[in-house]
């Protein structure tokens, strides 16, 4: 299954598409961990990028339409040890401003 997905993605990229398509993740936390630990983005920036640019479980943008929806969603999806309450608030403020 993984090879079929890679092949399909390769064909899409090879045909000139895909540059505007962002990597999809199963969960917000998967995206967040990738961007903070692999890409070394700051917490707030990683959350904004994940919420805005990456399909999470097939949905993009994925963190709701209001500040409260975003904060609740991120609070449920991200391990509390990974982001402070203030970082979540700041990320959601930025996310809503960029919607």
Q: Is the pLDDT reported for residue 21 higher than 90?
A: no
The domain in which residue 92 lies consists of 22-98
Predicted pLDDT of residue 73: 96
| Chain segment 55-68, per-residue pLDDT in tens | 999 999 999 999 99
Residue 63 falls within a domain, yes or no? yes
Rg (CA), the chain: 14
Q: Is the pLDDT reported for residue 69 higher than 50?
A: yes
Residue 93 falls within a domain, yes or no? yes
Residue 38 falls within a domain, yes or no? yes
Residue 36 falls within a domain, yes or no? yes
Residue 15 falls within a domain, yes or no? no
Q: Which of these, 28, 40, 39, lies nearest to 88 by C-alpha position?
A: 28
CB under 8 A, 24+ apart: contacts of 74-80: 74/28, 74/47, 77/27, 77/28, 77/29, 77/32, 78/28, 78/29, 78/32, 78/47, 79/29
| Chain segment 32-60, per-residue pLDDT in tens | 999 999 999 999 999 999 999 999 999 99
Residue 1 falls within a domain, yes or no? no
Residue 90 falls within a domain, yes or no? yes
Residue 9 falls within a domain, yes or no? no
Count the domains in the chain: 1
């Amino acid at each position: 299954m993984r090879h079929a997905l890679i092949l399909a993605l390769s064909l899409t990229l090879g045909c000139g598409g895909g540059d505007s398509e962002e990597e999809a993740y199963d969960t917000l936390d998967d995206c967040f961990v990738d961007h903070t630990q692999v890409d070394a983005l700051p917490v707030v920036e990683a959350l904004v990028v994940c919420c805005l640019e990456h399909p999470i479980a097939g949905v993009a943008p994925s963190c709701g339409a209001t500040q409260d929806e975003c904060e609740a969603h991120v609070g449920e999806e991200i391990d509390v040890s990974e982001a402070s309450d203030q970082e979540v608030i700041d990320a959601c403020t930025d996310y809503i401003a960029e919607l």
